Amino acid sequence: MTPSNALVQLTDVQKHFPIHQGFIIRKETGAVKAVDGVTIAIERGKTFGLVGESGCGKTTMAKLILRIETPTAGTITFDGKDVHKLKGSELRAYRETVQVVFQDPYSSLNPRMRIKEIIEEPLRTDPKFTKEQRKARIEELLKVIGLRPGSATRYPHQFSGGQRQRIAIARALAPSPSFIVLDEPVSSLDVSIRAQLMNLLKDLQREFHLTFLLISHDLAGVRYLADTIGVMYLGKIVESGGSPAVYGKPLHPYTHALLSNAMPSHPNAPRTEVILTGEVPSPINIPTGCRFHPRCPKVMPHCSKIEPQLQEAEPGHWVACHLYGDTNGAPTPKETAHATATSTAAGNAR
Amino acid sequence: MAIAEQPAAGRVARPRFSAGGVFRTVRHYGIIPGIPLFVLVTLIFVGAFAPLISPHEPNKQSLLDSNVAPAWTAEGTSNNLLGTDRFGRDQLTRIFYGARISLIVSFVTIAIGGAIGTLVGLTAGYFGGWLDSLLMRIVDVFLAFPGLLLAIVLATVFEPSFTIVILVASLLIWPRFARLVRGDTLGIKPNDFVTYARITGTPTPRILMKHIFPNVIPTLLVLCTWEVGAIILLESSLSFLGAGIPPPNPSWGTMVLDGRGQLEEGWWISLFPGLAIMTTVLSLNLLGDWMRDYLDPKLRHA
């Protein structure tokens, strides 16, 4: 889980939003556990695809990396430095090195600013650029994303969704970042435009040696771009590994379900459909044991009692599920007797 | 707007002003904004150039010419088109100068009250939390003020003056701006372009001025239009009650007051300034209504 060339490293990151109740005397009565102990490493020059249903904490992860939220626990390091302890010139450098492209290109561009002003935004705070250099950079970027130079003086409403998303990408590229968070960059676009945009992203990555964190709920779409996949469920990573491994041989029942519901590459391709029942449980009351057990088609009795830990099922392929390996969810001495009893029972049942 | 939305389509150059252009404009926007706009442009023109276009001096008394009827009546003369009041002052001239007073009072009030209210609204909406609660409770208190009463009290304690009128109007108007701007700010803040500005470390004043404020402007325009009407009405009411613009300044409200005692023998003294008030306020309200619909993106694309 900790390759030496990790650019971004998240270590046991948690983000809990406290819930207050009461009118005058406000008490903390609980917490939304949006991110509940996530450890991932994003390799330099690669794309890390973070996949999960809506509400599983994907976007909160992005916000933590982008410093809009501070983690409740755990650390996020970028190039070995704790992101949330940066100050002064280091912080300014970080803000340029790390950029973001949002999901909705209608909400991410200020409707009252011209395109050139929008792209200039991240450069404004940089004393390295003179006014002329910024202007040259804007023209250069418009060329890179394939918009006419005359577009600079137009307003966002004069462009289509796909063009707007390109503008958002140009803005992200402006300060020459090394890491870009892509928060569902294509999911609000027409299917016909998606491939175009993903190709653009791929080209840009190669050309500028970019590292991507690609957040999406669409497992099939992520496949095209991501080198590494992390599957997230209710604030935790349940499976992670190289893209071929996760797609070729998904281990976690949740990944199975996500993949089986994705469009097949060929209509006649053999597939078994796994339809999950029930709703995603609330991140306020996370189920005991394995957080997926109420919806899991392969649930075993001890799943509701012991939380499985992420473990290396195959080299470089990690999964948090009791179905794999003996060491999984190794019971603490206190629970041993009970846990053994239940697991034997489960074994017999099968 | 329709043209601007198709950047690819070649635009045909056409002369800026032409009969056809006017016709197209009217067909595009409808007749509604035209009439009130015309009234208001006339009003601003009249107010700005009152000394040049007025036939007489606004405060020059001439007791020999007192209570002259309008020109088209049997007793009227062409010297005083709308007649004179009981001091023999020309009504038309005084209405022109009254427009000037109404405009000055409303613009200064909008400048003061609108600026304060916008600032408070932006701050409350953007920062939220206890600051928002505090500011909005203050707004609630001010909205509960009985405006006319406050003005009369102030005018009794101090001498009635321009300053008092503007002060009272500003006090009454800023909370309305604050409340509206706060609401808009709350709606704009969650947009990703604001989040992006925060991510890049944009200083908060710049976020407020460059990202939030420009998106509040359409709402502000509508509110300003309505509020100018309200201020003109307030100024006239105060003047009518003797707590507004002190005589002999020709405020429309004062003029209505002057004619009140002699409605039977000199109906024109009250009627024409009254009509001026009504037309102006009605025009502003109509224009405000139209602007609200026109600037609403949901209605515009329908």
Question: Where residue A83 sits, what CATH number does that domain have?
Answer: 3.40.50.300
Q: Are residues A274 and A345 in the same domain?
A: yes
Q: Which of A110, A120, A125 to mutate to test the interface with B (most CBs of B within 10 A)?
A: A110
Q: Is residue B56 part of a domain?
A: no
Taking CB atoms and an 8 Å limit, are B7 and A102 in contact across chains? no
Q: Is residue B53 part of a domain?
A: no
Query: What's the domain range around B195?
Result: 95-300
Confidence of residue B1 (pLDDT cuts 50, 70, 90): very low
Structure tokens at B297: 């993106």
In this structure, chain A runs to a length of 350
Q: Is residue A176 part of a domain?
A: yes
Q: Distance between alpha carbon B132 and the CA centroid of its chain, in Å?
A: 28
The beta-carbon neighbor of A95 closest among B4, B199, B211 is B199
pLDDT in tens, A249-289: 888 888 888 887 766 666 676 666 777 777 778 888 888 88
Percentage helix, strand, coil for chain B under 3-state DSSP, each rounded to 5: 70, 0, 30
Total domains, chain B:
1
Q: What is the pLDDT of residue A288?
A: 85
| Residue closest to B104 by CA, chosen among B231, B16, B212 | B231
Kind plus residue range of the DSSP H or E element containing A183? strand A179-183
Total domains, chain A:
2
**A171: chain B residues, CB-CB within 8 Å:** 196
Q: What is the pLDDT of residue A215?
A: 92
**A110: chain B residues, CB-CB within 8 Å:** 193, 210-211, 214-215
Q: Are residues A324 and A199 in the same domain?
A: no
pLDDT in tens, A283-327: 888 888 888 888 888 888 888 888 888 888 888 888 988 888 655
Residue B300 sits at the chain A interface (C-beta within 8 Å): no
CATH number of the domain where residue B294 is located: 1.10.3720.10
With vertex at residue B167, the alpha carbon angle to CA B166 and CA B171, rounded to the nearest 5 degrees, is 115
Q: Are residues A131 and A227 in the same domain?
A: yes
Q: Are residues A187 and A56 in the same domain?
A: yes
| Sheet with A73-78, side-by-side order of all strands | A27-43, A6-21, A73-78, A81-82
Q: Is residue A41 part of a domain?
A: yes
Q: Are residues A31 and A78 in the same domain?
A: yes
Q: Are residues A279 and A345 in the same domain?
A: yes
CA separation for the pair B15, B18 (Å, rounded): 7
Q: A49 forms bridges with which residues in the sheet? A: A214, A229
pLDDT higher than threshold 90 for residue B201: no
Q: Is residue A132 part of a domain?
A: yes
Q: Are residues A70 and A191 in the same domain?
A: yes
pLDDT in tens, B59-95: 777 777 777 777 777 777 777 777 777 777 888 888 8
CA separation for the pair A58, A209 (Å, rounded): 24
Structure tokens at A150: 């005359």
Domain boundary among A219, A249, A279: A249
pLDDT in tens, B13-37: 555 556 676 677 777 777 777 888 8
Structure tokens at B128: 């939220």
Q: Is residue B183 part of a domain?
A: yes
Q: Are residues A86 and A215 in the same domain?
A: yes
CA of A20, closest CA in chain B: separation in Å? Answer: 14
Query: What's the domain range around A337?
Result: 260-350
Does ipTM exceed 0.85?
A: no
Domain boundary among A249, A276, A306: A249
Domain boundary among A220, A249, A278: A249
Q: Is residue B272 part of a domain?
A: yes
Per DSSP, the three-state class of A200 is helix
pLDDT in tens, B120-172: 999 999 998 899 999 999 999 998 888 788 878 887 888 888 888 898 889 98
**B198: chain A residues, CB-CB within 8 Å:** 68
CA of A105, closest CA in chain B: separation in Å? Answer: 9
Q: If you average pLDDT over every residue of chain B, what do you get? A: 83
Q: Is residue A1 part of a domain?
A: no
Q: If you average pLDDT over every residue of chain A, what do you get? A: 83
Q: Is residue A255 part of a domain?
A: no
Q: Are residues A110 and A136 in the same domain?
A: yes
What burial class does residue B28 get, using C-beta atoms within 10 Å of its C-beta: 0-12 exposed, 13-18 middle, 19+ buried? exposed
Chain B (199-228) residues lying within 8 Å, Cβ to Cβ, of chain A: 199-202, 210-211, 214-215, 217
Q: What is the pLDDT of residue B185?
A: 93
Q: Are residues A19 and A54 in the same domain?
A: yes
CA of B15, closest CA in chain A: separation in Å? Answer: 23
| Residue closest to B243 by CA, chosen among B163, B172, B152, B170 | B152
Chain B (16-75) residues lying within 8 Å, Cβ to Cβ, of chain A: none
Q: Is residue A254 part of a domain?
A: no
What share of chain B has pLDDT > 90, as a percent?
Answer: 23
Kind plus residue range of the DSSP H or E element containing A65? helix A58-65
Residue A112 sits at the chain B interface (C-beta within 8 Å): yes
